[in-house]
Amino acid sequence: MAKGDSSKGEPSRRIRAGDAFMRLAERDPAAREALRRYQEHVRAAATYFQSAEFRRDLERDRREHQEAIEKLAEQIRQSIRATGDELTARGFKAPETLEEWEHLARIVEMPFETIRSGNYTFSDVYTMALAWIDRQQLKERVANQVSRKPDEPRTTEASESSPTSPTYTVAALREMTTLGNTALNEYAKKAGVATPGRGQKNFRYSAADVRKILRVIIEGTTEKRVLTRCQAALSRLEITK
């Protein structure tokens, strides 16, 4: 066979980098020392990876990573709950699924192209929903002012007990405040507002009475969720009165 034939003789002629380095290390003290240090590092690493210390470090890192993920997830859940509470206080059903958030985005007139692309966040929908609510309330307020006759006096709290003034059921007040009947009655008494009698099913609060109760709750509650709901409800009533 010819010396240049590569069909069978190539493996025997090929010089590997490792073999070349080993031959160099045999002749060169510096290379031999470098090889010794490298081998020590490899053995130390292998010993560490097989040790109980490594397993403890690995478990600690895994636990810290898991705790960080859980903390972030809880922060996200709290943010979504707070957003839902605010939307509920303003008359929307709090979204719980992606489909419900998308439906809310359509209600508040988010551009169709944005919805279809999915290039939006819960925060975007929430901000648009609040702006949409304020816009609707402002439209209603302007419409009422335009329809009112020039010599017709403005509605005051004293005149809100007229048959045409809005009234609110006990259930509506519970929804606004998240409080039960007993707590509501206590706050109503502090506000000087009459409460429903035993068995009275058709009792309704006037808008003025609801505002009084909400103000007393805001001043007296220490629960952040109740405070947020009542402030939002009072703000809504103040805009529409």
Instruction: Give the H/E segment covering residue 204.
Output: strand 204-206
75 with 38, same domain?
Answer: no
Model pLDDT, residue 115: 85
30 with 60, same domain?
Answer: no
Model pLDDT, residue 79: 66
Task: Decide if pLDDT at 37 tops 60.
Answer: yes
pTM for the structure as a whole: 0.37
Cβ-contact 122, 133 below 8 angstroms: no
59 with 79, same domain?
Answer: yes
Model pLDDT, residue 212: 92
For residue 207, give its domain range: 166-240
140 with 173, same domain?
Answer: no
Confidence class for position 161, pLDDT limits 50, 70, 90: very low
Confidence class for position 69, pLDDT limits 50, 70, 90: confident
DSSP 205: E
The answer to which of 177-181, 227-231, 237-241 has the lowest mean pLDDT is 237-241
Task: Decide if pLDDT at 143 tops 60.
Answer: yes
Task: Decide if pLDDT at 49 tops 50.
Answer: yes
- 77 occurs within a structural domain: yes
142 with 70, same domain?
Answer: yes
Q: Under 8 Å CB-to-CB from 157, ≥6 apart: which residues?
A: 207, 208, 211, 241
**Angle, to 10 degrees, between the axis of helix 52-89 and the axis of helix 122-147?**
10
- 228 occurs within a structural domain: yes
- 202 occurs within a structural domain: yes
Tally of domains within the chain: 3
Confidence class for position 156, pLDDT limits 50, 70, 90: very low
Provide the β-strand partners of residue 94.
none
Taking all residues of the chain, what is their mean pLDDT, rounded to a whole number?
Answer: 76
- 5 occurs within a structural domain: no
